[in-house]
Amino acid sequence: MSHAEDLAIGARKLSGGCHCGQVKFVMQAIEPLAVKECNCSICQAVGFLHLFVSKANFELLTDWDNLSLYTFNSGVARHWFCKTCGVKAFYRPRSHPTGYSVNARCLDGVELEDLQISPFDGRNWEANVGELAPL
């Protein structure tokens, strides 16, 4: 986000990060925040609420070295998490490999009731990925 001050119409600048503060980011998104709750094996375990964001609208403020990487199966998704506290605040999803998915639970000042949460059947990913909007 090289021009973080240049907000798109209707967009809100958001900040977020992990629990310990070693991972911090800023991003922008259109309100109301529409997030996906996925039932796949890893998202269910983590409780991840997906807010998809393009690379241009996301900026990591802390060092990439503060993140560990976990991959499985196809290896396309990059499941980064904080090396210190273990929180997965954002990652690169297989559905949007040019962008990111931010965990809406990790956004500053955003309450669950502020979110428009809809389900995504990630257990049947190939059959359902087409319903996800492009970035």
The answer to whether residue 22 forms part of the interface with Zn ion (CB under 5 A) is yes
Q: Which is nearer to Zn ion, 24 or 94 (CB)?
A: 24
CA distance 34 to 65: 30
Other Cβ atoms closer than 10 A to 91: 22
φ, ψ (nearest 5 deg) of residue 128:
-115, -10
Find, among 54, 56, 96, 50, the residue nearest to 76 by Cα.
Answer: 96
Q: Which is nearer to Zn ion, 86 or 97 (CB)?
A: 86
Find, among 17, 22, 16, the residue nearest to 83 by Cα.
Answer: 22
Binding-site member from 1, 14, 18, 67 for Zn ion (CB under 5 A): 18
- Do 81 and 101 meet the contact criterion of CB atoms below 8 Å apart? no
Q: Which is nearer to Zn ion, 15 or 22 (CB)?
A: 22
The answer to whether residue 128 forms part of the interface with Zn ion (CB under 5 A) is no
Q: Which is nearer to Zn ion, 12 or 79 (CB)?
A: 79
Q: How far is the CB of 127 from Zn ion (least distance, A)?
A: 35
Footprint on residues 71-90 left by Zn ion (CB under 5 A): 82, 84-85
- Per CB under 5 A, residues contacting Zn ion are 18, 20, 22, 82, 84-85
